[in-house]
């Protein structure tokens, strides 16, 4: 199975590509909407602000294509801002619409959290009913992953939240809906557990191939 990694100018694209290649993924890196429509699976990397990311996605026509591909039931992994833009709205630099794939709003971490942005390692704690999800295979509950963000996803449907992390408040750090997955942290910077999560996603893609 070939996984499309969306190239819209995200700064973490090369690291994501290298990490996926390290776990044996067959990749195509693309900015072509038609190639994304044909993709068997998709990874949306991201760093920076949701407004800039949405501007870049609109310029490529991906604001229409991505919801289509997700609605088709293709495996999808959003990383950091690639998770945030799945929601309906973001409050970063003023309220603005995002992709609207998941109900909810992107909000700023509370000042009580301490230093913002959160930069560094933090624990990812699974929700009990999703602790055995294939995305978490061979990754112990409470493992540390690497975060760089000032905003978090306030998801309307709590059943979509597969894991939480605490930074001033418990915020969703992993979101799962069928074969749609998204993570607030950077697996490509998270050592062996990050690589394992990416490998789990690749294996999930392979299991759903042709289904």
Report d(CA 194, CA 138) in Å as an integer. Answer: 11
Among candidate residues 98, 153, 186, 193, the one labeled active-site is 186
Q: Is-catalytic flag, 129?
A: no
Report d(CA 4, CA 18) in Å as an integer. Answer: 13
pLDDT tens by residue, 156-195: 999 999 999 999 999 999 999 999 999 999 999 999 999 9
The parent domain of residue 39 ranges over: 2-208
Q: Is-catalytic flag, 68?
A: no
What does 42-107 look like in DSSP terms, one character per residue?
Answer: EEE---S-HHHHHHHHHHHTHHHHHHHHHHTT--EEEETHHHHTTEEEE-TTS-EE---SEEEEEE
What does 1-52 look like in DSSP terms, one character per residue?
Answer: -EEEEE-SS-TTHHHHHHHHHHTT-EEEEE--HHHHHH-SEEEE---S-HHH
Q: Give the chain's domain count.
A: 1
Report d(CA 136, CA 174) in Å as an integer. Answer: 10
Phi, psi angle pair for 46, to nearest 5°:
180, 140
Collapse the DSSP code of 124 into the 3-class scheme (helix H, G, I; strand E, B; otherwise coil) and give the result. Answer: strand
pLDDT value of residue 210: 53
Residue 159: CATH number of its domain: 3.40.50.880
**What does each C-alpha distance from 133 to 21, 126, 138, 174 come to in angstroms?**
23, 9, 10, 11
Cβ(107)–Cβ(152) below 8 Å: yes
What value, to the nearest 5°, has the Cα angle with vertex 191 and ends 175 and 207? 50
For the chain, which residues score pLDDT lower than 70? 210-211
Q: Is-catalytic flag, 188?
A: yes
Report d(CA 13, CA 61) in Å as an integer. Answer: 19
Among candidate residues 80, 98, 153, 205, the one labeled active-site is 80
Query: What's the predicted TM-score (pTM) here?
Result: 0.96
Q: Which of 139, 129, 128, 119 is nearest to 201 (CA)?
A: 139
Report d(CA 62, CA 189) in Å as an integer. Answer: 26
Cβ-based neighbours of 54, under 8 Å, separated by 6 or more: 63, 85, 90, 96, 97, 98, 99
Among candidate residues 153, 188, 193, 205, the one labeled active-site is 188
């Amino acid at each position: 199975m070939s996984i499309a990694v969306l190239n819209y100018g995200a700064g973490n694209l090369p690291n994501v590509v290298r990490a996926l290649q390290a776990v044996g993924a067959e990749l195509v890196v693309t900015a072509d909407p038609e190639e994304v429509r044909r993709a068997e699976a998709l990874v949306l990397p991201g760093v920076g602000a949701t407004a800039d990311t949405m501007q870049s996605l609109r310029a490529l026509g991906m604001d229409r294509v991505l919801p289509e591909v997700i609605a088709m039931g293709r495996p999808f992994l959003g990383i950091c801002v690639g998770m945030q833009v799945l929601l309906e709205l973001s409050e970063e630099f003023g309220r603005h619409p995002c992709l609207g794939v998941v109900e909810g709003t992107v909000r700023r971490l509370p000042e009580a959290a301490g230093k913002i942005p959160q930069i560094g390692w933090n624990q990812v704690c699974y929700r009990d009913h999703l602790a055995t999800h294939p995305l978490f295979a061979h990754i112990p509950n409470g493992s540390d992953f690497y975060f760089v963000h000032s905003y978090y996803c306030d998801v309307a449907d709590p059943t979509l939240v597969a894991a939480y992390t605490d930074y001033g408040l418990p915020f969703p750090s992993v979101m799962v809906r069928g074969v749609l997955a998204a993570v607030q942290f950077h697996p490509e910077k998270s050592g062996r557990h990050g690589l394992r999560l990416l490998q789990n996603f690749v294996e999930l893609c392979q299991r759903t191939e042709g289904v």
